[in-house]
Amino acid sequence: MSITRPHGFRAIGLDAGIKPAAAPDLALIVNDGPRDTAAAVFTANRVQAAPVLWSREAVADGRARAVVLNSGGANACTGPDGFADTHRTAEHLAGLLDVSAQDVLVCSTGLIGERLPMDPLLAGVTETTQQLAAGAAADAATARAIMTTDSVAKTAEATTPSGATVGGIAKGAGMLAPQLATMLVVLTTDADVDAATARAALAEAARTTFDRVDSDACMSTNDTVILLASGASGIAPSPEELTEAVRTVSADLARQLVADAEGASHDVHVVVRSASTEDAALAVAREIARSNLVKAAIFGNDPNWGRIVAAAGCVPESVAPFAVDDLSVHINGVQVCRAGGAHRDRSEVDMTLRETLIEVDLGAGSASGDIWTNDLTHEYVEENSAYSS
């Protein structure tokens, strides 16, 4: 179980006929309360899809009763008509649930620039309200319905020491960049918390998990991460407890996103230590993670540390000060670079493992930061060269 593991939630996913081929493409998650607390974070892309614009406004009051999500179309760059489609979806579901449309959040994922087929979508929304359930089958159906190029559904859950539960589902397999990714994530909890606590917990959790996933430096128009709290457990965990549980679920889902990155053959963890500040460490880690030369080397099982230090050197000194002679690099535990030069022979590095660990020490301070990414493969190019065909 995942999304309905916390008390107070029902969900379902089904085939509404939004995608050209038969496949689950519509999901609904409902918070039965007694609380209707909600928080969300969204893409930082200046081009934002209609559902993002709607949901950002709707969740501003810290409340939501339902989230409706579709795959098979992003409803991005569709103008006023696309926004009207999102509004119409929220109004339709609100009428069925007897709630305000402002308490309905909407998420979409898929191809940009095409409007959604509203007749099957709205009919599907009606059907989802009739099939809502709690349990493993409902959770699995919901997670499948939001998939696009994902090869597997992504779910996670955790429990606070005080006994409140957090569950979650996610979709995403490419365009994973900072300020989230091409992801839709819904987290649920039965904790009894207010909106301010939920916002703080989600913001901190996203900062250290979803914001640290950078598959291909491409930022989506539809990124959304939502946290719903029902209060159904009657347990009010401390803010620290809640944040850690939300972070645990978010970290699990973020790691699953990287593991399912389109065509990837290596999951790559870039860790930068001894930086002047955390921001400096993250800047260097992100530069390395985004380097196509580094990614291609990893795909070829080549522990080419020269490409790693070259990428680190692309970060301006004003952002991440360090001396070249202080640089060291470990790849999968082998120190291949020391004091800015060659150390142990790169042939000692085992690159056949699925997970590649790159550790860079800047020798400039005590701060650290990390980024998860993946290699660049033929399959990634093939997948993204024919996405709209």
Active-site residue list: 182
- The string of DSSP codes covering 60-85 is GGSB-SEEEEEESB---S-HHHHHHH
Which of 9-18, 132-141, 214-223, 286-295 comes out lowest in average pLDDT? Answer: 214-223
pLDDT digits (tens, 9 = 90+) for 307-345: 999 999 999 999 999 999 999 999 999 999 999 999 999
pLDDT digits (tens, 9 = 90+) for 84-122: 999 999 999 999 999 999 999 999 999 899 999 999 999
- Give me the mean pLDDT over the 48-75 stretch: 97
Continuous H helices in 268-349? 278-290, 292-299, 305-312
Enumerate the β-bridge partners of residue 166. 158, 189
pLDDT-above-90 percentage for the chain: 84
- State the Cα angle at 204 between 364 and 375, rounded to 5°: 65
Selection from 136, 176, 187 nearest residue 259 by Cα: 176
pLDDT digits (tens, 9 = 90+) for 118-153: 999 999 999 999 999 999 999 999 999 999 888 899
